[in-house]
Structure 1
Amino acid sequence: MTKIVLVCSAGMSTSLLMNKMEEYAQTIHLDLDVVAYPIAEVNEKGQDADVVFLGPQVRFNLNKVQQAFPDKPVEAINIQDYGMMNGKNVVKHALELLEKNRG
């Protein structure tokens, strides 16, 4: 199972995106676990994630979170994909990052 952690200010605004990502994963038969948390919990909750994505409102924390998890992909969610709640693109990007990280 692939686990993606989404973080935002309070863990609320990423909930809709989380649902869209899970819907897309089902259509491609991908065993995916997507969870959303407030940025304050990223150090604890990101430990068992395969990918950590930051929402646009907390992207200023990117360097700090990347330093906390140097061995895993950590990126800010593309602002257009976030605004359009494009779960398909976010899942595809996560899979690309995982492939790069493994290679």
Structure 2
Amino acid sequence: MKKIILCCMAGMSTSMLVAKMQRAANEANIECEIYAVAADQLKSNLDGANAVLLGPQISYKLPEIKQLCNKVNVPCDVINMLDYGSMNGARVLNFAMKMFLEPAD
């Protein structure tokens, strides 16, 4: 089972997107655990994670969070603003899956 973490400032704004991603995963028969955490709680939630996605509103934290994720070999990136704004759970799920299924450059 894959573990995908969505990270925003308080862990609240991503909760709707988490639900839409989980629905898309269920419809595609993809076993994964998706949840949101606040940026300051990410470190304690990284164990077993396969991907970390940042809400566009905290994209400025990418270097800091990427450094944290690199220490435990977890890919990290920012969610596309249009996909985030439209709450396109299927596209964000697909983005996360590409992060951990394709080798890093």
TM-score band w.r.t. shorter chain:
over 0.9
1:31 aligns with 2:31: yes
Point out 4+ residue stretches in structure 1 off by more than 4 angstroms: none
Instruction: Give the TM-score taking structure 1 as reference length.
Output: 0.94
Aligned counterpart for 1:76 among listed residues 67, 75, 78: 78
Give the percent of matched residue pairs that are identical in Structure 1 and Structure 2.
34
Aligned partner of 1:61 in structure 2 is 61
> Hey, what's the Cα distance between the residues in 2 that align with 1:21 and 1:64?
25
Where in structure 1 are there 5+ consecutive unaligned residues? none
Mean Cα deviation higher: 91-100 or 77-86: 91-100
Q: CA RMSD in A?
A: 1.5
Aligned partner of 2:92 in structure 1 is 90
- SS at 2:102's partner residue? helix
> Hey, what's the Cα distance between the residues in 1 that align with 2:98 and 2:50?
12
Q: Counterpart of 1:95 in structure 2: which amino acid?
A: M
> Hey, what's the Cα distance between the residues in 1 that align with 2:48 and 2:58?
20
Higher helix share: 1
Where in structure 2 are there 5+ consecutive unaligned residues? none
**Relative to 1, partners in 2 of residues 1:101 and 1:43: Cα closer, same or farther, differing over 3 Å?**
farther
